[in-house]
Amino acid sequence: MNSTTLLKSSLACALTLGMASLASTAFAGQRDAMMKMTPPQKTDAMMAKNHYTPCYGINAAYKNDCVSPGHSCAGQDSKANDPSAFVAVPAGLCTKIAGGSLKAA
């Protein structure tokens, strides 16, 4: 391998590592903000970012997305199709699902 090829290869590697380092520090700020949130706040932030809405009354047992009466987090609702438990679904889909409601009962 000649010195020019070796130099180009080393430079490309250094630039790649530098870019990866910058990207990881950019995501670290978002990660730190998410770590400070409570579970309901995380769910709300995820739903807003991905254009999801809560759909009540369509959950399977132990498959709800956060906070319902009687518990404080996801996957703790033992009753299927609970009208006070929600599952995050893409916006506009809830009313098309049998039993789905945009408001808690």
Give CA torsion, residues 48, 80, 98, 96, to 10 deg.
Answer: 10
Domain ranges of the chain: 1-36, 39-96
Instruction: Provide the β-strand partners of residue 53.
Output: 89
Range list of β-strands (E), 39-84: 52-56
Question: What would the two tokens of residue 101 be?
Answer: 């409601």
What pTM value is reported for the model? 0.55
pLDDT of residue 11: 64
Average pLDDT of every residue of the chain: 75
What tens digit of pLDDT does each residue of 28-62 get?
555 655 556 666 677 778 778 888 998 888 888 88
Q: How confident is the model at residue 97 (pLDDT cuts 50, 70, 90)?
A: very high
